[in-house]
A and B are shown apart, each in its own frame.
Chain A
Amino acid sequence: MEKFIELLTQMNPFDLVQVVFWGLAGAISFYFSIGNARVWTSISSGFFLIFLSQAYGINPWSHYQKLTAFHYIIGTIAIMTITHGFLEYYIFCRTFEISGDKLIVYLSTLFVLVAAGAFLVINPTPSPNTIRNFKIVENAVWVFLCAINLEIIRKIYAAIKDSDIAKGFIAFGIVFVCILVWRGADLYLQIYQWDRDWQDIITLMTEESTDIADYMVRVQFAQEVNRYAGLLSGISVGGTFIYLYNLLK
């Protein structure tokens, strides 16, 4: 506990606020998944997993590299689960078919998480570079699937625009725009090797040089965009689920 409090005091207040918002969003979305129809289970479970992926900052054992890598894998699984949920909702809008079971969704997600954990356990301890690779993959998947989800949400909205819940999908659109910007900015920094992880790696472990000093303005801009878009993403997810809850009450 002491270590946890020490971690919180060491954290950047902005990052701490972001984690708190993701915690609230995760709790609201998980609560929403319990009380609502099966189709919402994947979407809300996925948003809950984002909180778990973001919580590495307050994880007292995050210095274990396998656990750090696991946080990034959870992030990847989160967006895949969310996309699966939106795809199911879109299929429902087109075919009016509702199938499956909530428990199956929970168990399947848990199974994938366990499988990912097993993958990390049976493989060597990831180096900082490998962990960065996990993070790049996570961001790439997020950016790609956010773009896909925006298109799916557009189509869902077109199909149900005169229903009560249609405005809720506009809110989801805003959420994914925020997430796309948040993750896109991070991916941008990673692709050009201007991210903090790479800077740490080259300082401590390699003799490679960096051109970050030549592009400091755009790096700082991307970093700010990443921070604020991340915060807005957390707030918008929590707000969206509260809004949905009111729409479906």
Chain B
Amino acid sequence: MFLLPKGNPIFESLAVSKLKLPDVLSKLSNGSLTGYASFIFSSHTAILVFESGNLISAIVEGKNGEKESGFSALSTLSELMVSTGSGALNVYKLSTDLAMCIHALVEGEMLYKAQELKLLNIKALLEKVKDDQMNGCLRVYTDDHSALIFYKNGNPLGFFHDGSSDIEISSTESQKIAGLPGAKMDLYATQSADELRKTNLLEVTNVQNLWEVCVVRHKAETDRLNLERQERDRKVVVQKCDELGEQVKALVEEYVGRVGRGIVEKVIADNGGNTCLLETERVDSVVRNIERSAKLLISGIKIRAMMEALTSLLSTARSEL
């Protein structure tokens, strides 16, 4: 995503997780914002450009370069806000002309793309911009640097380059980048500010509905994932309990004999299955009943040794889980 001039900051670094998109848009629209709002997520960046409270552009760009705009961008932004639980919102106020240029940059018509400057008659191109009284943005860049030159009615409004926070009057940095080997340029054009004022995405999009659908979908997805996780956890616990049950049977069999396995199976079944081995109250009953039955079959010395081994096995297993 391009670096954009910050203009006059209204909000910076607001936590997106606490915000609702309809409320944000309503507030910015009612405040007749001219400027842009940027939503910075770890995987995506969204830019919403406003002109006098009208939402004239919405664009979402992913880290891997995929772009969405308009309704699709608002939908994706809603999903990102609902699902990521992180991200920051910045809102900057700009002049109408600059807002228009930002619009051109993010969503305008691309007249030239990746043209190498050394192969281009830049002087003729700039004369054409002036002659055609174009509104738009000229982007000059290399792999490491970029600079933006904003035009209104063919006249430059100002310069913006990486590392600066606002529009500059000086063209020095832009000229420096243009002089670098391998420098390229893109030219974006947009409609005039008057025409842009007629566009308002908020009038054609039911943002509230979009948001609610995302919230419901996200909740359903979260619930599904929680259920899956719980089921997975339950299966893990059941498997561990089954293994523990087998260990208890083997241990009691070792002291009591073959009949010991049956005693453990009966006691565990009476206490609701192998999961009782991890429940403090029920495991006491299990141990007590195993001891009670074993008293009919083995000596007191063996019972004491078996109980020590059994208690140790169960407490180790419970601490591990």
Q: Which residues of A contact B (CB under 8 A)?
A: 36-37, 39-40, 89, 92-93, 95-98, 159-166, 247-249
Contacts and interface: CB of A to CB of B under 8 A. Distances in A.
B299 interface: yes
A93 B259 CA distance: 7
A248 B302 CA distance: 9
- Give the interface residue-count category, chain B: 20 to 34
A143 B259 CA distance: 30
Given A37-B292, A160-B257, A163-B256, A96 B263 contact: yes
A156 to B, nearest CB: 10
Contacts of B302: 164
Contacts of B267: 96
B263 A163 contact: no
Contact of A97 (B256, B266, B299): B266
Interface of B: 256-260, 262-263, 265-267, 292-293, 295-302
B257 A36 contact: no
Contacts of A164: 297-299, 302
Contacts, number: 53
**Residue among A97, A161, A165 with most chain B CB within 10 A:** A165
Nearest to A92: B296
A92 B267 CA distance: 12
A248 B300 CA distance: 6
A96 B298 contact: no
Given A96-B262, A160-B257, A249 B297 contact: no
Contacts of A39: 296
A40 B292 CA distance: 13
Contact of A165 (B266, B292, B297): B297
A48 B298 CA distance: 23
B295 A162 contact: no
A98 B294 CA distance: 11
22 contacts: A36-B295, A37-B296, A40-B296, A95-B266, A96-B259, A96-B262, A96-B263, A96-B265, A96-B293, A98-B293, A160-B257, A162-B258, A162-B259, A163-B256, A163-B259, A163-B260, A163-B298, A164-B299, A166-B257, A247-B299, A248-B298, A248-B299
